[in-house]
Chains A and B, each alone.
Chain A
Amino acid sequence: MAKKVAFLQGNEAAAQGALYAGCNFFAGYPITPSTEVAEVMSAELPKVGGKFIQMEDEIGAMAAIIGGALAGSKTLTSTSGPGLSLKQELIGYACIAEIPCVIYNVMRGGPSTGMPTGPSQSDVMCAKWGTHGDHPAICLVPASVQETYEEVIRAFNLSEKYRTPVMVMPDEIVAHMRERIVFPEPGEVAVIERTVPTVQPEQYKPYDTSFGDVPPLAAFGSGYKFHVTGLNKMQDGFPTTKAAIVQAEEERQVRKVDGNVDDIVKYEEYLLDDAEIVVVAFGSTSRSARFAVNEARKQGIKAGLFRLITFWPFPEKQLLALSKKVKAFITPEMNLGMATGVVKGVVEGNAPVHGIFRVDGEPINPGQILDKMKEVK
């Protein structure tokens, strides 16, 4: 039988991806340009026995998805920059309490209310450092409607596998544009379920590292009682200030992601074999970059594209290796240099990094990238 196809917006595809991954609880507060996710979830979740709730504000929505996840659900919220700022306190809480959940954030102009209907890529640092303290960060940056669907599924899988919040961050262009999408059959794409305890309830510890860096998580209401806090905690979940435990637990939480970079980092290489000028780009900007690379090749410029699909953790070792064999990097992005700064740090001066920055609500067009290629070649 032919597969089901549709012509969807990125945001609509995100909601469909969440449903495929088994999301059964959504809490959010409407905000342009992400509201379509809430719209679809409010219509679809009741049909599959899930729950949708519009909360009083963004941090309330974050609290609700943490609570839902602790009760055993797969949970999602959707928002945009101003909402992401408001959620930060509880994103930190989800990191330290190790609560799997997915935050879908559509990037629009900022800071503050910024430009609600204009595209941007300026929330990528907020994905890592928006909440204070050392903590694991996973952020996925899809570039098409199909990929938004797939990356939302992957976000749920990573959050369950590593027991940590995961962010998916399309820019407004990807979130609002429409493309053809081909839906996978049920079972075709792997869906990961969280590890639940096999010990008796009285023996259960919510942060029991004898099971490895990712301890099993019981659902409230399933007979297991345990303590959850934002304080540094011991294996039984109760607070501690014992130096050795705090140090080890902080390191373990970060290690869940930093120790599994190869499993989490995803990227696409395009015409890199003989490339002298490499564009490093993500989201809709990577589509401008691919267009520019194709044009450059026609004009005899050896250009290639390294497309980030995972933004955090950053593909450091791949870019460092690449930096040893290319002449220059070009980093177009709809912010004032966030990825550019990271790339500069990673490539250790092996090749110059030329940024192209736009924050005027207009996309970076292929001509701008092509001009920069001619300038630096």
Chain B
Amino acid sequence: MAGRYELRFSGAGGQGLILAGVIMAESASIYDGKQAVQSQSYGPEARGGASKSEVIISDGPIDYPKATVVDALLALTQEACDKYSSDLKEGGVLLVDSDLVKTLPKGNYKTVSFPIINTAKNEVGREIVANIVALGAMVALTGVVSKESAEKAVLARVPEAFIELNKKAFQMGYEKALSAQG
């Protein structure tokens, strides 16, 4: 992998996007032997409001810790998609929740859309793991970290009782993204 790869996880506060970004960065930095920086911006609200978590992954040292030209964007709400898609690069990956993001930004993107939150709620069994479903999908679509490293990083963050739930969420997101990609 040459140079910087920039990911942005966006949605509403409380959806666990900062954690999804942290796990992506840990996959790269701790398990894949690459360099990674994770940062975030959020409003004063504990829940709601547009929120984003950015991850820069590189083989070499990372100077600027924020995104410049985004390679892959996840948007879990329309507001986040509208607000944070302007610097997605031409040909970049755009993953959105198909139930919540109806208006896509204009541009030439590799857009993948499936009901992320609904998958967590009805197929995995708990809405709270929507961020892990999304993470699995982002790992599948970007290939920027290995699937094995990402799974290890997820499990290292999860309490014992929720390991199976999160494994399932990650796997479901990974598979659904690949089939939605066609």
Contact = CB atoms under 8 A, between A and B. Distances in A.
Contacts of B25: 7, 178
27 contacts: A5-B30, A6-B30, A7-B22, A7-B26, A116-B44, A173-B39, A173-B66, A177-B39, A177-B65, A178-B25, A178-B37, A179-B29, A179-B37, A179-B38, A180-B30, A284-B65, A287-B64, A288-B63, A290-B64, A291-B63, A291-B68, A294-B63, A365-B66, A365-B68, A366-B63, A366-B68, A367-B68
Given A173-B39, A287-B64, A291-B64, 19 more contacts: A5-B30, A6-B30, A7-B29, A7-B30, A7-B36, A117-B41, A118-B41, A178-B22, A178-B37, A178-B38, A180-B35, A287-B65, A288-B64, A291-B68, A294-B63, A363-B66, A365-B66, A366-B64, A367-B68
Interface residues of A, number: 22
Contacts of A116: 44
Interface in B7-53: 22, 25-26, 29-30, 35-44
Interface string A280-310: 0000100110110010000000000000000
A176 interface: yes
Contacts of A284: 65
A294 B44 CA distance: 35
Nearest to B39: A177
Contacts of B36: 7, 179-180
Interface in A349-375: 363, 365-367
A117 B44 CA distance: 7
A180 B153 CA distance: 14
A289 B42 CA distance: 24
Contacts of B30: 5-7, 180
A180 B29 contact: yes
Contacts of B63: 287-288, 290-291, 294, 366
A5 B68 CA distance: 28
Which 8 residue pairs of A and B lie closest in terms of their CB atoms, listed nearest first? A291-B63, A177-B39, A291-B64, A290-B63, A178-B38, A180-B29, A287-B63, A7-B26
B64 A365 contact: yes
A117 B29 contact: no
B44 to A, nearest CB: 6
B68 A177 contact: no
Interface in B52-78: 63-66, 68
Contacts of B26: 7
Contacts of B38: 7, 177-179
A18 to B, nearest CB: 23
A145 B42 CA distance: 20
Contacts of B42: 117
B171 to A, nearest CB: 23
A110 to B, nearest CB: 15
B121 to A, nearest CB: 29
A291 B29 CA distance: 20
Nearest to B65: A177
Contacts of A287: 63-65
